[in-house]
Amino acid sequence: MEGEGNKRIRFPTETSNLQIAVDLCDEGGCIEILPGTYFVNAIIMKDLTLRGMGDQNNTALVSRFCCTLVIESCKVNLENLTLAVSEGTLTDHAMELHEASVTMESCDVYGGTAALFANSNSKIAATHCQYHDAHSFGVALMNSEAEFLDCYFFRNGEDGCNIGGSAAKLELQNCRISDNTCFGVHVHDGASMAANKCNVIKNEQAGVMISGHDSNHLKSTGIMKQSCAEFQDCRIKLNKWQGIFVLDGSLKCVGSDLRHNERGALVLTTSKTAVISDINRLKLPYVDVEYYESCKLGEIELADNKAVRKDAELEFTGSWDFPQDWKSRPKDEVLEIYKKCSIDLQKRLHNYPNGWEDRILRDPKAYMLIERLFRNIEQETDTDIDELDMEIHEFLQDLGLERFVERFRKLDCNAVRDLLPMRDTDFVNIGIKDTKDRRKLNSRIAALSGASHAPQHLVPCKFASLIEATKFQARKADKQRNYEEWKKLRSLFADRIGFNTTGADVDTKLRKLFSELDVSRTAGQRGIHVDELKKGLQNMGVKLEEIRFNILMSELDSNDIDYMSYESFCKAIEHILRT
């Protein structure tokens, strides 16, 4: 420790137990973790730094059937680490925070029910991190705050980011949320979020779901705190449902691209009828009519977006947006489709320089011209459809690394997929010396190719197996609590009669002990009443929990649940001594 007290501890050189390393390290100290994979877990309740001495790919802390890191009421810095739950139960997370403040730099977090679960006014600031392959949420914020810069949330079993509670606040900058089984982002129960220059794409349901007000806030203050979300210069595209689904709350969306979502760019539910209709159509597993009757839209602000107008009407920016049956529709409906096209598209479709004009309706050839142009329109190229085909200049420009374009092209790297075989040392050789630039590049490549790469330490598990494991863990914990109670009785009886339950003098000792426990000594009683037994044990200094005592008695082989005969007492003593 080089004369620094315990301000710095090297793991596993100085101790092979991470929890011991945490306990030994001084407040504000640093645990330096050497490269390797360590199957460990720890609870941190003091200000610390955990620093991986390699990069995030070769320094991994992995747990089984428990949370990898639990951080409570302290400030912790995490750098260059992989944190994972290889297999576990519904109560296990890769990271769990309670009233904690955590900063994260270049961390890869995956597995568990949530890769990162934050509760009780925790605060997170993360840069160049990944949260993925969790059974439910990449990040779950319950009345907590988080800021993410250049982070990725992908391939989670439910949502990429799930935030709830009036105190919950999420800020995203240059982040990518993709390939999640439900929503990219779910903002609910009065939470708020803001996203700038983010990609919310290729999620199995809506890209963004905004729902619910905070009922607790309403009860305590009389003010309804609605969920709200703000998007600036974002791409919310290629999602299986809508780009944005506003069930109950407020939305501000400016300069964003909402094209190519299978069920439209935006849905604003404005009445009970519309809400229930949409819920049934989308086949959600829950329909709480009373809740949805109370749904109310907050303030909606839309400006300069692609695929949706200021009045929330859908806007067509390419032929892919047209209804599939448009060719069979009557003339008036086709003209309505034309009116909803963007100005740029209208100019390409027709020779009127200002786009839609009323005089088009007086043109007898309007329908024929529009139909012919609709048929012949060429699809615009969109690199989001297959990001691995994105041109290298566009890809590096998004990362602020366009100065390296020519160096990549000299190696015949012209598209993103050409970068997949490259490693960190290759980027160094190209001339990307800055560690932060390489981390940014590696994280983005990992996120783009994440759908085809399974995490190294994750054990595949079906959800039914997860539930069974959770039940087993609960039974195991219950048996452990019972065992702690049995131990109190075991030490008492061992002191009085020893561990041997056979022998000439044992019966004498057992009858004496039975008599001492029979507090009332009522004549003609068929044994000791359980209440008397409990009082007798308390007189001997044994304190048992009320509920635990009843459970212990139910485990003993007794035909009478209220009274314990001498024979049942002898069997119980033998059972306890063998525990």
3-state secondary structure 98-130: ECCEEEEECCEEEEECEEEEEECCCEEEEECCE
Cα separation, 559 vs 526, in Å, equals 12
What is the residue whose two structure tokens read 């390393």? Answer: 21
Tell me whether residue 146 is in a domain.
Answer: no
**What is the span of the domain harbouring residue 111?**
1-136
Tell me whether residue 109 is in a domain.
Answer: yes
Tell me whether residue 471 is in a domain.
Answer: yes
**286 and 357 both lie in a single domain:** no
Tokens of 317: 């920016």
76: β partners:
48, 102
211's CB contacts (< 8 A; 6+ apart) are 186, 187, 188, 227, 247, 248, 249, 295
**502 and 568 both lie in a single domain:** yes
For 77, phi then psi, to 5°, come to: -110, 135
Which alpha helices (H) appear in 312-434, and where do they start and end? 331-339, 343-349, 366-376, 392-398, 405-409, 424-430
Which CATH number goes with the domain that contains 418?
Answer: 1.10.150.50
Of 400, 430, 452, which one is at a domain's C-terminal end? 452
CA distances from 513 to 215, 492, 495, 528, 554 (A): 58, 11, 11, 12, 21
Tell me whether residue 61 is in a domain.
Answer: yes
Of 317, 342, 360, which one is at a domain's C-terminal end? 317
342's CB contacts (< 8 A; 6+ apart) are 306, 315, 316, 317
3-state secondary structure 49-84: EEEECCCCCCEEEEEECCCCEEEECCEEEEECCEEE
For the chain, how many structural domains are there in total?
Answer: 5
Which CATH number goes with the domain that contains 37?
Answer: 2.160.20.10
What is the residue whose two structure tokens read 């806030």? Answer: 217
**180 and 193 both lie in a single domain:** yes
Tokens of 314: 């859908």
Tell me whether residue 107 is in a domain.
Answer: yes
What is the residue whose two structure tokens read 């390419």? Answer: 318
Tell me whether residue 309 is in a domain.
Answer: yes
**424 and 490 both lie in a single domain:** no
Tell me whether residue 377 is in a domain.
Answer: no
* Whole-prediction pTM: 0.70
pLDDT tens per residue, the chain (579 residues)? 344 457 899 999 998 899 999 999 999 999 999 999 999 999 999 999 999 987 666 899 999 878 899 999 999 999 999 999 987 666 689 999 999 999 999 899 999 889 999 998 999 999 989 999 998 899 999 999 999 998 999 999 899 999 998 899 999 999 999 999 999 999 998 899 999 999 999 999 999 999 876 666 555 555 667 889 999 999 999 898 889 998 888 999 999 999 888 877 888 875 444 444 454 444 444 445 555 556 677 888 888 888 887 878 777 766 666 766 766 777 677 777 777 777 666 666 555 555 556 666 566 666 566 666 555 554 444 545 566 777 888 888 877 888 888 988 888 888 888 887 787 788 888 888 887 788 778 777 776 765 445 566 666 655 555 555 555 555 555 556 666 666 667 777 777 766 666 666 777 777 777 777 766 665 556 577 777 777 777 777 766 665 556 656 665 545 555 677 777 777 777 767 665
Tell me whether residue 152 is in a domain.
Answer: no
Instruction: Give the strand pairing for 563-564 and 528-529.
Output: antiparallel
Of 300, 317, 334, which one is at a domain's C-terminal end? 317
**364 and 276 both lie in a single domain:** no
Cα separation, 160 vs 172, in Å, equals 12
